């Protein structure tokens, strides 16, 4: 099912001014001291349902697992972390796609559209972005806050779709120039990842998949519990068959098996006093997931979290959260555009 921005709840202005765009993309960040914004930590799961990024065509509406407040809070850190070194080989591939009259870019699990706001102004030529997500509110937000021009001033247009990332087929990506996603791979299973890799290979389009968790975190100053919390968090990320910190290795295998050339680059969050609000929410979610995985940690983890939050508020804590960006250059097909 395809929906235009107008169909998901509002008309997109043709050329919004900078002030209007800023007003549109601002979301209040209600973050009580003891709260975890949905998406920063463990998400509630309906009985019998495995937590995933599954996008539904129909069926009952579900509570969103990723709050716009969390996605906005992390957007700056995401933008600073993404690898610029992968853009040159991507630009070369896009420039050489056969029959290209403009770029058609599919953004999977687009959330509030941060990937488009980061990438569209870094690519030349006309672009049409197809935004995929399960949440109609996030789709609307992403559509109205999308960039309107490319690096060279060419027009950027957008449409939105609700669908299932686990049901992608080459036909679903017909005509695609590029597939993008951010913070997606680690919440897929191996079977879902294979579907994604096969769809990209079948469509002959490259994939730029950023900010996959690497399973490594560095906190300064150190604490004896750092490693124990990290291990429990990584185990939580692998629950129910999800790839978690194994996702990049699995993606390299999945894309390489289908003839793609794969490049990797680190894309770590580097959080200091200026990012205290993000660090505090990340800490709550990180420790919360560890305790959900290992309830026996709760008493010690409560003490650990309290002390870490105090250090964060005092400007005495720095955190490096390691991620990896992946560029898979699938072999072009005659139908690529």
Tens of pLDDT, residues 225-267? 999 999 999 999 999 999 999 999 999 999 999 999 999 999 9
Residue, of 96 and 115, whose pLDDT is higher: 115
Max mean pLDDT among 8-17, 170-179, 185-194, 246-255 falls in 246-255
Which pLDDT band holds residue 336 (cuts at 50, 70, 90)? very low
CA atoms within 13 A on the CB side of 290: 24
Residue, of 167 and 30, whose pLDDT is higher: 167
Which pLDDT band holds residue 100 (cuts at 50, 70, 90)? low
pLDDT of residue 97: 79
pLDDT of residue 5: 36
> Distance between CA atoms of 280 and 309, rounded to whole angstroms?
6
Angle 250-169-328 from CA coordinates, rounded to 5°: 40
Report whether pLDDT(214) > 50. yes
pLDDT of residue 135: 86
> pTM, whole model, 2 decimals?
0.84
Which of 124, 131, 83 lies closest to 105, judged by CA?
A: 131
Proportion of the chain above pLDDT 70, given as a percent: 81
Which stretch of 5-14, 225-234, 243-252, 277-286 has the lowest confidence by average pLDDT? Answer: 5-14
> Distance between CA atoms of 199 and 43, rounded to whole angstroms?
28
Report whether pLDDT(305) > 50. yes
CA atoms within 13 A on the CB side of 138: 26
Residues 73-94: what's their mean pLDDT? 97
pLDDT of residue 29: 36
> Distance between CA atoms of 132 and 162, rounded to whole angstroms?
6
Provide the pairing of β-strand 178-182 with 103-108: parallel
* Mean pLDDT of the chain, nearest integer: 84
Residues 27 and 68: beta-carbon distance below 8 Å: yes
Query: For the chain, first and last CA: distance in Å?
Result: 22
Which of 75, 103, 107, 77 lies closest to 90, judged by CA?
A: 103
Max mean pLDDT among 32-41, 162-171, 182-191 falls in 182-191
pLDDT of residue 52: 39
Report whether pLDDT(82) > 90. yes
Report whether pLDDT(27) > 50. no
Provide the pairing of β-strand 269-271 with 207-220: unpaired
């Amino acid at each position: 099912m395809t929906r235009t921005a107008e169909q998901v709840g509002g008309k997109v202005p043709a050329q919004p001014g900078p002030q209007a765009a800023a007003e549109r993309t601002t979301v209040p960040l209600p973050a009580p001291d003891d709260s975890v914004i949905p998406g920063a930590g463990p998400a509630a799961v309906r009985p019998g349902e495995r937590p995933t990024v599954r996008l539904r065509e129909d069926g009952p509406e579900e509570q969103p697992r990723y709050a716009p407040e969390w996605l906005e809070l992390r957007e700056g850190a995401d933008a600073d972390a993404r690898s610029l070194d992968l853009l040159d080989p991507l630009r070369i591939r896009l420039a050489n796609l056969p029959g290209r009259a403009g770029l058609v870019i599919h953004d999977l699990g687009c959330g509030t559209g941060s990937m488009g706001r980061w990438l569209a102004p870094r690519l030349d030529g006309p672009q049409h972005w197809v935004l995929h997500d399960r949440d109609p509110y996030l789709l609307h937000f992403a559509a109205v806050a999308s960039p309107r021009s490319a690096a060279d001033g060419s027009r950027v247009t957008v449409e939105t779709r609700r669908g299932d990332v686990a049901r992608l087929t080459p036909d679903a990506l017909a005509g695609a120039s590029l597939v993008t996603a951010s913070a997606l791979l680690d919440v897929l299973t191996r079977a879902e990842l294979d579907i994604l890799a096969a769809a990209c290979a079948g469509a002959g389009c490259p994939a730029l998949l950023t900010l996959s968790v690497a399973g490594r975190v560095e906190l300064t100053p150190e604490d004896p519990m750092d490693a124990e919390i990290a291990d429990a968090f990584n185990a939580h990320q692998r629950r129910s068959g999800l790839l978690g910190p194994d996702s990049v290795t699995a993606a390299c295998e999945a894309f390489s098996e289908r003839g793609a050339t794969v490049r990797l680059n680190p894309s770590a969050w580097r959080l200091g006093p200026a990012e205290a609000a993000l660090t505090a929410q990340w800490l709550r979610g990180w420790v919360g997931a560890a305790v959900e995985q290992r309830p026996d940690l709760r008493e010690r983890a409560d003490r650990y979290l309290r002390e870490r939050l105090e250090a964060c508020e005092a400007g005495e804590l720095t955190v490096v959260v390691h991620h990896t960006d992946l560029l898979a250059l699938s072999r072009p097909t005659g139908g690529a555009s």
